[in-house]
Amino acid sequence: MAKIVKPLHVGISVAHMEEALAWYSRNLGFHLVKDDGYVAPLEARICFVERDGFQIELFEYKRPKPLPEERRMPNSDLQTIGTKHVAFQVDDMAEMKRRLLENGTEIAHETRMGTEHVLFIRDCSGVLIELIQMSS
């Protein structure tokens, strides 16, 4: 029987590739592993960044469509059908939040869900990313 072996990547469209590459490196520790350059059939530049074996495929289109306003906040975004966000577990939310704010990262939403500390941030294109510190 065929089976899924492992998750490979998540795809995110960004407004400006160079800015996104720097943002994902500086804020989340991802590094560039592959630059496909301009891919004519898609009319987009594609790059892969990786951290701890997980990759994000970044797309930069010549004429990107803007992120709809309802996709900028977690609770309203969840009401829109489709993929919502990528989530990462962190070991020290206070330190992570401090570093993100120092880097000018926009905080979209912060809450506690039970004993978990949850922080939604926006990347340099406004895309939501969830950070979770699990209870110990």
Q: Per residue in 22-78, pLDDT tens?
A: 999 999 999 999 999 999 999 999 999 999 999 999 999 998 999 899 999 998 998
Provide the whole-model pTM. Answer: 0.92
pLDDT at residue 136, as a whole number: 64
Q: Is residue 97 part of a domain?
A: yes
For residue 88, the one-letter residue type is F
Helices and strands (DSSP H and E) totals, the chain: 3, 8
Q: Give me the DSSP letters along 8-66.
A: -EEEEEES-HHHHHHHHHHHH--EEEEEEEEETTTTEEEEEEEETTEEEEEEEESSPPP
Examine the domain organization and report whether 57 and 96 are in the same domain. no
Share of the chain above pLDDT 90, in %: 82
Kindly state whether residues 24 and 59 are assigned to the same domain: yes
* Residues spanned by the domain of 72: 66-136
Amino acid symbol at 109: H
Q: How far is residue 134's CA from residue 40's CA, in Å, rounded to a whole number?
A: 42
Distances (CA, A) of 6 to 3, 12, 83, 131: 9, 19, 18, 21
> Are 93 and 38 found together in one domain?
no
Instruction: Please say if the pLDDT value at position 17 is more than 70.
Output: yes
> In the prediction, which pLDDT does 5 show?
85
Beta bridge partners of 12: 58
Tell me if 83 is assigned to some domain: yes
